[in-house]
């Protein structure tokens, strides 16, 4: 069958278009495999012609490896898109959208202070172990009990920090700490009693004798204490004490 040149050109163009489309489809990821022509960070498409990118930095090279026909990409809320990538997306008609940021809980942002004073054994090592397991934790240098309590009070007032103090005389430390307006300290000899007391008064400082707690139990107590929403302090603690109403003696 003879065809005129225009018909032949149309047939050739159609064949090339089908072959090209077939190659692009073959480049799309299939179950159990990720072809090298597709970025490893490409996730499940949010739509028929869009893809998710997990890259923290989206470059021109990342966009050039996208499947043919991609019309939109979704990047992380904090991802950096380079100028060359933006220019390529504009020229290729690719829309770049940002996903929502993962909310950060207030507990994850709250500083956690670890300190020790006047206690024997490897108190410094136990404090260091707690710092390694707690988010946003920092260890205060070991000084005298009064100085350590004053430093904790400063962090509590300035940063809203919670803290744990390992002390050889926890009752004395608790009395001293509770003289500070910004501290509400509790102490106990077991984890349940410690957390119950903290919840009752909205404590921001735990004072413990390290000999009464194993390393594992102390880590669990600190983790629970740092994450727990203790609510506001009781009204009795927030209000100034009323003057004495007795008539039998002077003050």
Domain borders along the chain are: 39-102, 106-233
What's the CA gap between 30 and 88, in Å, rounded? 26
What band does 12 get if pLDDT is binned at 50, 70 and 90? low
Cβ atoms of residues 224 and 207 within 8 Å: no
Instruction: Report residue 54's pLDDT band, with 50, 70 and 90 as the boundaries.
Output: confident
Q: Which of 132, 128, 134 is nearest to 108 (CA)?
A: 134
Which residues lie across from 98 on neighbouring strands? 75
* Digit-coded pLDDT (tens) for 202-228: 999 999 999 999 999 999 999 999 888
**Residue 138 near residue 114, CB atoms below 8 Å:** yes
Residue-wise pLDDT tens digits, 148-159: 999 999 999 888
Mean pLDDT of the chain, nearest integer: 80
Q: Given a cut of 80, is residue 30 above it in pLDDT?
A: no
Q: Give the pLDDT of residue 110.
A: 81
pTM given for the model: 0.57
Which of 27-41, 79-93, 104-118 has the highest mean predicted lDDT (pLDDT)?
79-93
Contact 171, 197 (CB under 8 A): no
Mean pLDDT over 50-59 rounds to: 84
67 vs 38: CA distance, rounded Å: 7
Quick one: pLDDT at residue 116? 96
Which range (152-161, 168-177, 229-238) has the least confidence? 229-238
Per-residue pLDDT for 99 more than 90? Answer: no
223 versus 11: the higher-pLDDT residue is 223
Domain 106-233 in this protein, CATH class: alpha beta
Rounded mean pLDDT of 95-106? 69
């Amino acid at each position: 069958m003879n065809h005129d040149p225009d018909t032949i050109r149309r047939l050739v163009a159609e064949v090339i278009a089908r072959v090209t489309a077939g190659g692009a489809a073959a480049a799309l990821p299939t179950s159990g495999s990720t072809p090298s022509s597709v970025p490893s960070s490409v996730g499940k498409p949010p739509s028929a012609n869009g893809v998710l990118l997990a890259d923290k930095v989206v470059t021109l090279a990342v966009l050039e490896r996208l499947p043919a026909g991609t019309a939109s990409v979704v990047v992380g809320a904090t991802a950096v898109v380079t100028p060359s990538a933006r220019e390529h997306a504009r020229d290729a008609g690719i829309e770049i959208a940002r996903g929502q940021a993962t909310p950060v809980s207030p507990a994850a942002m709250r500083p956690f202070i670890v300190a020790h004073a006047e206690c024997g054994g490897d108190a410094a090592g136990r404090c260091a172990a707690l710092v390694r397991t707690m988010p946003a934790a920092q260890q205060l240098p070991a000084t005298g009990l009064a100085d350590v309590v004053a430093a904790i009070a400063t962090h509590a007032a300035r940063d809203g920090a919670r803290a744990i103090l390992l002390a050889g005389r926890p009752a004395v430390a608790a009395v001293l700490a509770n003289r500070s307006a910004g501290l509400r300290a509790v102490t106990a000899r077991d984890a349940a009693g410690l957390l119950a007391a903290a919840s009752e008064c909205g404590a921001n400082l735990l004072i413990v004798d390290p000999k009464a707690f194993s390393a594992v139990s102390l880590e669990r107590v600190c983790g629970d204490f740092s994450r727990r929403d203790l609510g506001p302090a009781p009204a009795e603690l927030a209000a100034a004490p009323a003057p004495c109403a007795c008539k039998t003696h002077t003050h």
